[in-house]
Amino acid sequence: MLPFSLNTFSSRSSTVARSDYLFTSESVSEGHPDKVCDRISDEIVDLFFREGPKAGIDPWDIRAACETLATTNKVVIAGETRGPSTVTKDWIAHTARMAIRDIGYEQDGFHWDTCDIDVLLHGQSADIAQGVDARQPTNQEEGAGDQGIMFGYACRETDELMPAPIYYAHKILRLISEARHADTEKVLGPDSKSQVTIRYANGKPVGVTQIVVSHQHLIENMTSHQVRELVEPYVRRALPEGWISKETVWHINPTGKFFIGGPDGDSGLTGRKIIVDTYGGAAPHGGGAFSGKDPTKVDRSAAYAARYLAKNVVAAGVADRCTIQLSYAIGVARPLSIYADFHGTGKVDESSVEKLFERGDIMDLTPRGIRRHLDLNKPIYARTSAYGHFGRAPDAEGGFSWEKTDLADKIKAGL
């Protein structure tokens, strides 16, 4: 039982939501050039969190802001770190190679064993550190690593409380990737993209009108038809039964050929797929990327916290859709503002939830509080670098802790 009237709806959203429309989201695989860079950057964050405690460094003191660029047989890793001196440049380069190998790149233009890797990481700026570290004389508690705005979102379109278009775009590529890694689809390369256009009726997703899959192939003269024969079964497995009809239009390798892939075909850069990483355009984005950043960077940790809060609001039955915005200033611990929008689906007014979160009874939203609550000082980041940071099941190692719904009862009681 909810401790409020089901007939009390939010007045925040003054416009009436459309009920019948088309909406499209895209995904990219772990072999996409930008995702190769995200993976390398997150592997380096994980490396620091794995090796720091072994060298006697408190995980709370580890810092990483790692950017990667990849192009034909070249990888450049730059940024700022603070951690164990035992993590050498050679070790970092080796970590990048192992990531590239795991993704599956062994082609002439980009090979894990022969590509040239430059490591240009250096120490974190003292000016940034003095605003973040709690032990600095001017700080009573740990401040945010930067200013910024972060959004979290949840809705009832899938069991994972994610928007359907991005969820199924990810699922298509994830199933193909699993088959490729199992050597079931040996002629498919690591680089691929998907896109689904979903039809909504009465505000609910009911079918797919357009399907796009562009997938790298390792045999040069393969046709689009041959690639479709390989990928179509995975597309059908990914989508709910009955969503694909005779009217659904398929676009499989629409250029006709996708042999040259990965960084050899197009350069990659960390943090260029922020909409793919989040909600596929169904919700706002604050603009900050996630990969390569330790959790003192609120671009990452506060975005995870905002998703966590939004998901628990929906899981609690407070709303069918929920957007949460948090904002921070560098060196300041507590969020500057907390905003909620239920998009006309709320059972209470949004301001009551905002006040509940502002009090801190549900969750400490300082950077340190977020890291503690979600247990983020761990090597859990490489697994987030492809197929979305949200809508994934929490794992035994502590990954995706922000996907838990363990706050739902507390939110209901608080209201």
Q: Which two tokens stand for residue 73?
A: 């047989």
* Strands annotated E in 102-147: 106-107, 110-111, 116-123
Measured distance CA(57)–CA(47) in Å, rounded:
13
Give the torsion sign (CA, 69, 70, 74, 75): positive
Does residue 139 contact residue 149 with C-beta atoms inside 8 Å? no
Secondary structure element (H or E) that encloses residue 37, with its range: helix 33-54
Does residue 37 contact residue 268 with C-beta atoms inside 8 Å? yes
* Strands annotated E in 97-203: 106-107, 110-111, 116-123, 148-155, 188-201
Q: Which two tokens stand for residue 141?
A: 């508690």
**Amino acid sitting at position 239:** L
The confidence score (pLDDT) of residue 18 equals: 80
Per the listing, tokens 């775009």 go with: 169
Measured distance CA(371)–CA(108) in Å, rounded:
42
The beta-carbon contacts of 399-404 under 8 Å, at least 24 apart in sequence, are: 401/374, 401/375, 401/376, 402/304, 402/305, 402/307, 402/308, 402/311, 402/374, 403/160, 403/307, 403/308, 403/311, 404/308
Kind of pairing between the strands at 204-217 and 249-252 = parallel
Q: Which residues touch 173 (CB under 8 Å, ≥6 apart)?
A: 27, 28, 29, 192, 193, 194, 387
C-alpha distance from residue 16 to each of 13, 19, 85, 343, 386 (Å):
8, 9, 57, 9, 35
- Helices 89-103 and 33-54: angle between axes, nearest 10 degrees: 130
Tens place of pLDDT per residue across the chain (415 aa): 454 444 444 445 445 668 899 999 999 999 999 999 999 999 999 999 999 999 999 999 999 999 999 999 999 999 999 999 999 999 999 999 999 999 999 999 999 999 999 999 998 666 655 556 655 444 457 888 789 999 999 999 999 999 999 999 999 999 999 999 999 999 999 999 999 999 999 999 999 999 999 999 999 999 999 999 999 999 999 999 999 999 999 999 999 999 999 999 999 999 999 999 999 999 999 999 999 999 999 999 999 999 999 999 999 999 999 999 999 998 899 999 999 999 999 999 999 999 999 999 899 999 999 999 999 999 999 999 999 999 999 999 999 999 999 999 999 999 9
pTM for the whole thing?
A: 0.93
Residues in the chain: 415
> Smallest Cα–Cα separation from 369: which of 414, 318, 326, 312?
326
**Amino acid sitting at position 48:** F
The confidence score (pLDDT) of residue 141 equals: 72
Q: Tens digit of pLDDT for each residue in 116-144?
A: 999 999 986 666 555 566 554 444 578 88
The confidence score (pLDDT) of residue 144 equals: 86
The confidence score (pLDDT) of residue 142 equals: 80
The confidence score (pLDDT) of residue 10 equals: 43
The confidence score (pLDDT) of residue 1 equals: 46
Q: Tens digit of pLDDT for each residue in 361-383?
A: 899 999 999 999 999 999 999 99
- Helices 367-374 and 298-315: angle between axes, nearest 10 degrees: 60
The confidence score (pLDDT) of residue 137 equals: 43
Q: Tens digit of pLDDT for each residue in 273-299?
A: 999 999 999 999 999 999 999 999 999
- Helices 224-238 and 164-181: angle between axes, nearest 10 degrees: 120
- Following DSSP, what letter does each residue of 52-81 receive, concatenated? HHHTT--GGG-EEEEEEEEETTEEEEEEEE
The confidence score (pLDDT) of residue 139 equals: 45
